[in-house]
Amino acid sequence: METIKIRDEYIKLGQALKLSGICGSGVDAKHLIENGMVTVNGETELQRGKKLRHGDVVACDGKSIQIEG
C-alpha cells in the first residue's frame, strides 16, 4: 500500500488519485469516481470532492493508498 503525506488537514479524493498516479488527470479521476470504481475506507465513494484525512484508505483498480498527516 502506497502512502500519501499531506501537510494540510485534508486532501480531496480527486487530488489524491492524481497525486498517487492511479489516474493521470482530473477527468480520469472524475470518471473512475462517477462509475463507482473508487472506495474510501471500504465504502464506494461517488464524490470527487470527498475530504480525505489522516488514516483514510482509498482503493481503485487493485491499488490502495493511505493518507498520512
Q: Give the pLDDT confidence of 14-66 residue by residue, as tens digits.
A: 999 999 999 999 999 999 999 999 999 999 999 999 999 999 999 998 999 99
**CA nearest 59: which of 28, 33, 34?**
33
Domain count within the chain: 1
Show contacts of 44-47: CB within 8 Å, 24+ apart: 45/13, 47/13
The domain that contains 25 carries what CATH number?
3.10.290.10
Position 69 pLDDT exceeds 90: no
Could you list the residue range(s) of the whole structural domain that residue 22 is in?
A: 2-68
Handedness of CA 67, 15, 63, 44 (dihedral sign): positive
CA distances from 45 to 7, 11, 60, 65 (A): 23, 15, 11, 15
